[in-house]
Chain A
């Protein structure tokens, strides 16, 4: 019996291992197909699986007439679904323009923070426009275009018990973060002793925070400022934490034709002050005029 059991276990482990390698193999052949139009990515096929995934080149997107853009559906005012069921927000404002200038339909794909890289690597979306902060780790997995917004981390807490320093967080206190965000990575790396309560979507983290499940909520400062402005009784005790980062569109690693078009487009948009217009159309209501110049970046060639 014992031996039988052992065989079963190892057998199944082997089967699953085989299935996994099978998956990798499939995806690399897929990439080989799409590399015919774009032979720059073919040199690094085996160093990491991320760079050998399939993606659609600029011509392929134009030909199909549809571009798939990954946006948030629950992160007001950047990417959300409005009362009419349409996507709206600062990121979507840019997405709409990209679709228009490219002359294709937009198919919005709702993403969560933690699966943004995945969606690009597996070719489920062509561009991620979901408030994606540029970090070194992420830049190894995807290609970022020029940035269009500034961001840092921030921490919001209830008025009655304001957290204005991370050192004042007790050993038993939990800080709410969203899985896959820069706040999570930053706290995990720099404050490993702080207990994190993780959620996989913005909507759930918000509700949990409102219910008092954590002493504070750490996230992009844009997001926590918006939260404190929209909800009574909350204060952003730590308005800026960690490095000043930027937010940029991202494409699948190696998708150079799309990246080049995107960068040219962003520079063109920057020269017509498109992003200030975007701020005024989507963010002004939440943040007021004070944040306009701190948040907005007009992309330029240098």
Chain B
């Protein structure tokens, strides 16, 4: 392994990490919003929206991100809708992640005993108040492990961004190998940078999980 080569590639990998994180976190924020909204729709069993959410979940959970990105980036411009590669990345991650986040939030919501809703309602709280102040906080704390798994999953999914010309970590490595054929150095840096990105998330996640375990009621 040639350390001079590694050093000269470092700035490129840093740029790639910055881009991956930027798109990654925006996409994850979007997916959390979608997830929360979708879970609320399912929780309240709002008629038509419930069906739409169901279709959305199945559609996005059963197609690869690569296909979704292809559609957003290559197909939409053909019918006149043009969005930048970065927006495509954020949208793709957000929509894919949203489908998974809904399911994570829903499993949390469903694990809260019905008696709590009934009690809250009988105390005179409205349906919305019950959801926001009683059910949701407990559900979220239960959903945390699932949500974090989704976050890590989504950050790793950024590795298919090369198709839409985004210089993420994976593409930077492939591109450098294609140009200069320093395979071992490039792949070593790739592994190290993915770890730099994901290890803190994993570690923070396990801390968060431990803290939030006490938010539950009764046990």
Contacts and interface: CB of A to CB of B under 8 A. Distances in A.
A210 to B, nearest CB: 9
Given A12-B199, A197-B165, 19 more contacts: A9-B195, A13-B195, A20-B187, A20-B188, A50-B181, A115-B178, A118-B177, A118-B183, A179-B179, A180-B174, A180-B179, A184-B175, A184-B178, A198-B175, A199-B162, A200-B163, A201-B163, A211-B74, A213-B165
Contacts of A188: 179
Given A20-B1, A207-B74, A198 B179 contact: no
Interface in A10-28: 12-13, 16-17, 19-21, 23-24
Contacts of A114: 174-175, 177-178
Contacts of B14: none
Contacts of A23: 184
A155 to B, nearest CB: 18
B177 A49 contact: no
Interface of B: 1, 73-74, 77-78, 82, 85, 162-163, 165, 167, 171, 174-175, 177-181, 183-184, 187-188, 191-192, 195, 199, 203
Interface of A: 5, 8-9, 12-13, 16-17, 19-21, 23-24, 49-50, 113-115, 117-118, 121, 137-138, 140-141, 176, 179-181, 184-185, 188, 197-201, 204, 207-208, 211-213
A13 B42 CA distance: 43
Contact of A16 (B78, B175, B195): B195
B199 A16 contact: no
Given A180-B178, A185-B179, A198 B167 contact: yes
A38 B44 CA distance: 73
A16 B85 CA distance: 32
B181 A204 contact: no
Nearest to B195: A12
Contacts of A137: 179-181
Contacts of B177: 114-115, 117-118, 180
B13 to A, nearest CB: 14
B41 to A, nearest CB: 34
B123 to A, nearest CB: 41
A188 B175 CA distance: 12
Contacts of A115: 174, 177-178
A12 B193 CA distance: 12
Nearest to A17: B188
Contacts of A12: 195, 199
A179 B188 contact: no
A188 B176 CA distance: 11
15 contacts: A12-B199, A16-B188, A17-B188, A118-B177, A137-B181, A176-B165, A179-B174, A180-B174, A180-B179, A184-B178, A198-B175, A208-B73, A211-B78, A211-B82, A213-B165
B203 to A, nearest CB: 6
A208 B195 contact: no
Given A8-B203, A20-B1, A207-B74, A113 B184 contact: no
A297 B178 CA distance: 26
A198 B162 CA distance: 8
A198 B203 contact: no
Contact of B179 (A13, A184, A207, A212): A184
Contacts of A50: 181, 183
Nearest to A203: B74
Give 8 nearest A-B pairs by CB, closest first.
A180-B178, A114-B178, A211-B77, A141-B181, A179-B175, A16-B191, A117-B181, A197-B165
Nearest to A23: B184
A202 B165 CA distance: 12
A121 B74 CA distance: 33
Contact of B165 (A9, A208, A212): A208
